[in-house]
């Protein structure tokens, strides 16, 4: 197991290099000059050139053939990408073009908000999806199954932005139960430890803070959880239905085990493999979905930040956030692969 983990961690390195290349390339493919975006349409040629030089935007993207022709080998490799990569090696994600603040600093500040939202959404999705899927499969073709299946179909097809707006209209505007956006109301302070507000408020025994944070997070979390919950429900159901047809389920029943033990001990562990794969993939879409959700609910996480940065062509921010999301996704996949081996003894990792 240890060797497998090490091997998988090492294999992350080439994948990450690939990710940096793709991130870098896609940004160059988007039309528009960041220097112009920064200085405005009326900027003088001179100023634009200065900014371009300052940020290295005047360098070629990958390799400088002119420098090679002059016999300047160092210059040949001195490109936007090599500078970007070199900075990455020093954990330097660059500076925001507009605000001149290190990207890593803002990331550290904003990422916990997204993490908290994603974790809560995933928890909601799992708490709804898995029990609903099991119940639906064990009561196949009953009214309960029908309601669950129709509900999950609606959930899968629901556009997040529409659901978010509907939530705001119902609970915030009409019923006035919950705030329309943000993470905390002004005036409420939560001592920061992990920067996950729900956790921090509990750790510091700040009950009022906890309630305030919960009130703010619940609408975006539900909106973000809808699609994963629906997909996990459907996947759990179909996987359970497959497993319940297996001979070993009949063996377990023939032993005299109760339906509950047959379902939860003998069926669920087998049915869980495809569900875990889906959960891993959903973890990725959850982070992507956060961009929309955070924008609708003015959630101060990386989703809203990257949305603003794309509009402003703030390359370093977009690069930094994309890289972080990629690393998380790679890590989640590693955990998924490891959990296969834990759940299914037939899968050997060595």
Site residues for another protein per CB under 8 A: 141, 246-248, 250-259, 266, 269-270, 343-346
Q: Quick one: 238 or 253, whose CB is closer to another protein?
A: 253
Residue 2 C-beta: closest distance to another protein, Å: 21
Helix (H) or strand (E) holding 329: helix 315-343
Residue 266 C-beta: closest distance to another protein, Å: 5
Residue 267 C-beta: closest distance to another protein, Å: 9
* Local structure of residue 185 (DSSP, 8 states): -
Residue 95 C-beta: closest distance to another protein, Å: 51
CA 232 to chain centre: 16
Q: Quick one: 47 or 253, whose CB is closer to another protein?
A: 253
DSSP codes joined into one string, 71-83: T-HHHHH-SHHHH
Residue 168 C-beta: closest distance to another protein, Å: 45
* Local structure of residue 62 (DSSP, 8 states): S
Residue 83 C-beta: closest distance to another protein, Å: 51
Q: Quick one: 28 or 250, whose CB is closer to another protein?
A: 250
End-to-end CA distance of the chain: 7
Q: Quick one: 46 or 247, whose CB is closer to another protein?
A: 247
Q: Quick one: 99 or 269, whose CB is closer to another protein?
A: 269
Residue 253 C-beta: closest distance to another protein, Å: 6
- Give the CA radius of gyration of the chain: 25
Q: Quick one: 28 or 139, whose CB is closer to another protein?
A: 139
* Local structure of residue 246 (DSSP, 8 states): S
Q: Quick one: 108 or 265, whose CB is closer to another protein?
A: 265
Q: Quick one: 41 or 247, whose CB is closer to another protein?
A: 247
346 three-class SS = coil
Q: Residue 139's closest CA among 263, 235, 29, 34?
A: 263
Q: How many CB atoms lie within 10 A of CB 100?
A: 7
Cα separation, 19 vs 14, in Å, equals: 9
> Contact at 8 Å (CB) between 175 and 272?
no
CA angle 274–280–283, rounded 5-degree value: 140
Residue 275 C-beta: closest distance to another protein, Å: 14
DSSP codes joined into one string, 166-177: HHIIIIIIIS--
Beta strand spans in the chain (E): none
> Contact at 8 Å (CB) between 294 and 220?
yes
CA angle 25–26–30, rounded 5-degree value: 120
Q: Quick one: 82 or 339, whose CB is closer to another protein?
A: 339
**Residue 340 burial (10 A CB sphere; 0-12, 13-18, 19+):** middle
Cα separation, 130 vs 310, in Å, equals: 36
Residue 265 C-beta: closest distance to another protein, Å: 8
């Amino acid at each position: 197991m240890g060797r497998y983990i090490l091997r998988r961690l090492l294999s992350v390195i080439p994948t990450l290099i690939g990710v940096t290349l793709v991130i870098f390339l896609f940004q160059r493919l988007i039309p528009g000059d960041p220097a112009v975006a920064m200085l405005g349409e009326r900027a003088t040629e001179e100023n634009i050139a200065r900014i371009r030089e300052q940020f290295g935007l005047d360098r070629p993207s990958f390799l400088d053939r002119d420098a090679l022709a002059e016999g300047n080998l160092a210059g040949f490799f001195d490109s936007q990408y090599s500078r970007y990569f070199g900075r990455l090696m020093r954990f330097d994600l660059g500076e925001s073009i507009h605000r001149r603040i290190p990207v890593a600093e803002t990331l550290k500040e904003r990422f916990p908000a997204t993490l908290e939202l994603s974790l809560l959404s995933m928890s909601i999705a799992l708490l709804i999806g898995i029990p609903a899927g099991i119940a639906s499969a064990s009561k196949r073709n009953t009214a309960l199954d029908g309601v669950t299946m129709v509900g999950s179909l609606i959930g899968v097809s629901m556009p997040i932005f529409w659901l978010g707006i509907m939530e705001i209209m119902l609970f915030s505007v009409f019923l006035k139960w919950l705030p329309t956006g943000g993470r905390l109301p002004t005036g409420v302070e939560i001592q920061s430890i992990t920067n996950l507000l729900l956790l921090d408020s509990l750790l510091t025994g700040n009950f009022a803070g906890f309630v305030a944070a919960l009130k703010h997070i619940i609408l975006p979390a539900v909106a973000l959880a809808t699609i994963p919950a629906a997909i996990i429900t459907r996947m759990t159901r179909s996987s359970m239905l497959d497993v319940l047809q297996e001979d070993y389920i009949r063996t377990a029943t023939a032993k005299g085990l109760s339906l509950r033990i047959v379902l939860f001990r003998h069926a669920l562990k087998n049915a869980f493999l495809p569900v875990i794969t889906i959960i891993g993939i959903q973890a990725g879409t959850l982070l992507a979905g956060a961009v929309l959700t955070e924008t609708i609910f003015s959630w101060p996480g990386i989703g809203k930040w990257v949305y603003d940065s794309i509009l402003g062509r703030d390359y370093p921010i977009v690069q930094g956030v994309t890289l972080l999301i990629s690393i998380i996704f790679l890590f989640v996949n590693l955990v998924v692969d490891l959990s296969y081996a834990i759940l299914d003894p037939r899968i050997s990792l060595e």
